[in-house]
Amino acid sequence: GFKPDERDYGCGAQMLRHLGVHKMRLLTNNPVKRVGLEAYGLEIVENVPIEVVPNKYNERYLKTKRDRMGHTLHLG
């Protein structure tokens, strides 16, 4: 089977460093993304969660992301 998130942030981190970005505010609910970028030497000075309004179509999906993958989501 596949891991829940198999993305590698190396290419993105290299592009950011090439553009002169070494510190950033990261807009994400995914804690793995932060760790992935920090592993490539980028400094995350602030993690800004993305507010998502749940509805009948996405509520189950969002709860899974929160409960099984540790995403920062306040679903009310």
**Domain membership flag for residue 23:** yes
> Is 19 part of any domain?
yes
74 within a domain of the structure (yes/no): no
Give the domain range for residue 61: 10-69
Question: Catalytic: 7?
Answer: yes
Higher-confidence position of 35 and 76: 35
Q: Which pLDDT does position 15 carry in this prediction?
A: 96
Number of structural domains (the chain) is: 1
Q: Three-state SS for 28?
A: coil
Q: Which helix (H) or strand (E) covers residue 48, if one does?
A: strand 43-48
Annotated active-site residue 5? The verdict is yes
User: pLDDT tens, 38-74?
Assistant: 999 999 999 999 999 999 999 999 999 999 999 999 8
Is 41 inside any structural domain? yes
Whether 46 maps to a domain, the answer reads: yes
Q: Is residue 1 included in any domain, yes or no? A: no
